[in-house]
Structure 1
């Protein structure tokens, strides 16, 4: 539960109290999180880490959307962007794949927020473990993550 405590502590230090949701089942992807907790898939705020020529970037996107990597590449302004490998994710965020929250990273990470999240007032990002989420108003979250709002989502299909 160390990851969840880190996330809750980070938020608390900034004056934000959140409701946490913890399950004995894995919620490492948006579909399983939606099913386990009975939350609309669009309310899951999935955090996907990409490797942009050695620089970690995080995309926060609605659980019912995928990232259009070509659009992401254009937004970031690099020729190559790829889904980060698990060890890259861990070393740059301090969290394992499937547990990455939008806050409390071990290193500064550039965050891009897809406009798809704006369909929801309340969102549920990962809580720092592969079986936890936290509930937060999107506006509150946006106030302190310093994310750039972008339009890089596309309808879900297999992949990211």
Structure 2
């Protein structure tokens, strides 16, 4: 039996016509490095689902695991005066997920979304599926379709990423 948040992601994917299998990992995939190691993929293939407050409105940024999000770049992309990382309560209220398991889909209400164009460098991506141990495979094009997100250059290469 899947955790309720994972079931919600599975239902959202199926409702959008995506029939994929959510993978439950033995080890945590709370960070991009953990997820990449557990899946045996490069860190750049991991989709980090990060919630920010853009002028106090929720903003979901789907970033490559190889990038650190540059909030000034994001603010410019979304025409916001200020963009900052949201606290755990804000994240849960707007996504229905805890940090470490935020999925690109399955939120209580649609979220404005920006998708890192660096994710287009990979054929297969892996995104969180509502729980720190749950992920699903996807593509850049599918993320654009699923979220209605806008592509953009959101970050800078994380100096710690070997990808």
C-alpha separation in 2, matches of 1:81 and 1:141: 22
The match for 1:24 is 26
> Could you state the TM-score of these two structures normalised by the residue count of structure 2?
0.91
C-alpha separation in 2, matches of 1:93 and 1:157: 29
C-alpha separation in 1, matches of 2:80 and 2:144: 25
- Flag as ranges the 4+ runs of structure 1 deviating above 3 A: none
Unaligned runs of 5+ in 2: none
- What's the RMSD between the two structures over aligned residues? 1.3
| Structure 1 residue 141, shift from structure 2 partner | 2.6
Which deviations, in whole Å up to 9, do the C-alpha atoms of 1:114-150 show, x marking residues without a partner?
A: 1110001211110110111101232223223100111
**Pairs within 5 Å for 1:3-42:** 3-42=5-44
The match for 2:109 is 107
The match for 1:140 is 142
Unaligned runs of 5+ in 1: none
Change (3 A) 1:137 1:77: closer
Tell me if the contact between 2:144 and 2:150 (Cα under 8 Å) persists in the aligned partners: no
**Pairs within 5 Å for 1:5-154:** 5-154=7-156
| Structure 1 residue 44, shift from structure 2 partner | 0.5
> Could you state the TM-score of these two structures normalised by the residue count of structure 1?
0.93
Alignment length, in residue pairs? 158
